[in-house]
A and B are shown apart, each in its own frame.
Chain A
Amino acid sequence: MKILAIDASGLVASVSILEDDKMVGEYTLNHTRNHSVTLLPLVDALIQATDSKPEDFDYIALAGGPGSFTGLRIGAATAKGLAFSWKKPIISVPTIDALCYNVFGVEGIVCPILDARRNQTYTGIYRFEEKDGESTLLTIDEQKACDINSLIERLNELGEKVTFLGDGVPVFKDTIDEKLKVEHRYAPAHQSRQRASSVGMLAFRYAKEGKIEDTFTHRPIYLRETQAERERKMREGK
């Protein structure tokens, strides 16, 4: 099974090609957020560098969200365009789940945090569980948008050692260090940002589970309504 994976959900633009047990290639840029200019050239360069043929791909995997609204849409529109012409299915992998795969197998709780502005974070709580000699990702709290303080409260409640990663780390580190009572650490730079290969690895699992979308059905997972929708609901007292 061969997968082209894309992640444009945050500051990083990342593309990867994976085949069965092999990560064939990955280009990851964490430089400027200009995905509309960089993403497709990265896809093209990787396809050429790996002598890949579009007909060989079984799936296009995508970090489906949450993340930057614009980034998610550039990723989604790009994946949809490829899927449209190549007639390939799309696998949408939750961004936060994919981030966990960057630190596969660590002990204790894994807690990716993305900066969602105004003290909010896109986050989730996970653990790698050893079972029959294999490590699998277990979701404790599914990905969601929440206030950083309520996340810290929840982690204090769980009382386990935590590994943080994601672009929310530089934003929330001081708050976490001040308020989190349990032992915690931060993933190093090479593991701390979105990687398309992590998206691709989880996509293999989704493919087996039949969680498959296509160019017509895929929608980004924003986890948040637009401001206009929220304000309208407030006005209408809903």
Chain B
Amino acid sequence: MLILGIESSCDETAAAVVEDGRVLKSNVISTQIPIHTLYGGVVPEIASRKHVERISQVVDKALSDASVTLDDIDCVGVTYGPGLVGPLLVGTSFAKSMAYAAKKPLVGVHHIEGHISANYLEHPDLKPPFLCLIVSGGHTHLVRVKDYGEYDILGRTVDDAAGEAFDKVARAIGLGYPGGPKVEKISYEGDCDAIEFPQAKVSDHPYDFSFSGLKSAVLNYLNAEKMKGNEINRADVAASFQKSVVESLVKRAEMAIEEFGTDTFAIAGGVSSNGVFRAAMEEMCAKHNVRFVAPSPILCTDNGAMIASAAYYDYQKGYRSGLDLNAIPNLKLGER
């Protein structure tokens, strides 16, 4: 079964063709990062305009890269939330009318479910149940994947997403957007123990994350050093900040392994490309004799393939979306 997946929830216009939820036939990603870099972050109105300019080309290329035509496609999957409403509306409106006109079934996909499913593409033998930590610019979720499309949310961020904290700190130390890769790169030149930044706990919710306190601590540190007339070592700040984020992610992952037990732990989302985070997770999982899996970086970023994979399992469960499918910017995981 061939699924065409379409993703436009933030600043990537993406489409891909996937067979049976597992086999990548094509994966086209048109990123807007160079445009948004001019503004220090994603500008929703500009993102929406770019999506509408690019979407037909991206979908067309996904089909031709897979050496198929629209006729060969059995189902269309599209991200309908969560994300930025303007960008989401372009993807859903296009996918709906395209699927309608081609007489193909349509499945609206949850963006986070897509990220989790990226692991199905990377590891063809991976099956639920497993534990998964999804970390990106917009999301930080720790979940038990009970079955395809069935999740228990153990914890989530109560304020900033981890990737958002990377972006904000990167901006504060003058690295620019997008923050994640830039912080990681410079961190290798720094000492991660140079500055002790705090790790927030959320009372009564041991699995929840909080990164806004950490971000403020970094900003306060930068201000205090400036007042003292000290020169700031950006590499040390980046390395120490990153260590705090990674530790608070890994710590909760480890708690979940200890409490719930699992054979496999997966990570997903843009921040999963971070080498320091991957290495720390791998080491922790090895300690517990748990298999550690992660998508390759191209599948960690927003992409259509992960949406196609998730749509395949949603389709198998009988989910179909109508012509009235709407974009839902704050869609909760597990809701429909």
Q: Which residues of A contact B (CB under 8 A)?
A: 34, 36-41, 43-44, 54, 69-70, 73-74, 76-86, 215-216, 219-220, 222, 226-229, 232
6 contacts between A and B (CB under 8 A): A73-B86, A73-B93, A74-B89, A78-B94, A81-B98, A81-B100
- B193 at interface by CB-CB < 8 Å: no
Known: A216-B60, A232-B38. A77 touches B45 (CB 8 A): no
Determine if A77 and B39 form an interchain contact, defined as CB atoms under 8 angstroms apart. Answer: no
CB-based nearest B residue for A69 = B45
Overall SS of chain B's interface: helix
Rounded to whole angstroms, the CA-CA distance of A70 and B47 in the bound complex is: 12
Please indicate the chain A residues that have their CB under 8 angstroms from the CB of B38 in the complex.
232
Residues in A neighbouring B249, C-beta threshold 8 A: none
Whether a CB of chain A sits under 8 angstroms from the CB of B97 is yes
Would you call B323 and A40 a contact (CB within 8 A)? Answer: yes
How near does chain B come to A83, taking the closest CB pair, in angstroms? 8
In the complex, are the beta carbons of B95 and A226 less than 8 A apart? no
Categorize the interface residue count of chain B. Answer: 20 to 34
Query: Provided the pairs A85-B70, A85-B98 are in contact, do residues A78 and B49 lie with their beta carbons within 8 angstroms?
Result: no
Question: What's the nearest-Cβ distance from chain B to residue A139, in Å?
Answer: 26
A80 / chain B contacts, CB cutoff of 8 Å: 52, 55-56, 94, 97
Q: How far is the CA of A227 from the CA of B52 in the complex (A)?
A: 18
Establish whether residues A36 and B100, one from each chain, have CB atoms under 8 Å apart when the complex forms: no
B79 within 8 A of A: no
Contact (A36, B93) CB under 8 Å given A77-B55, A216-B60, A232-B39: yes
Chain B 41-69 interface mask (CB, 8 Å, partner A; 1/0): 00101101100110111011000000000
Q: Which of A40, A74, A229 contacts B100 (CB 8 A)?
A: A40
- Output the least CB separation between B14 and chain A (Å): 15
Task: Give the contacting residue for B49; candidates A216, A226, A227; CB below 8 A.
Answer: A226
Q: Is B227 an interface residue (CB 8 A)?
A: no
Q: How far, in whole Å, are A85 and B73 apart by their CA atoms in the complex?
A: 12
Residue of chain B at shortest CB distance from A42: B323
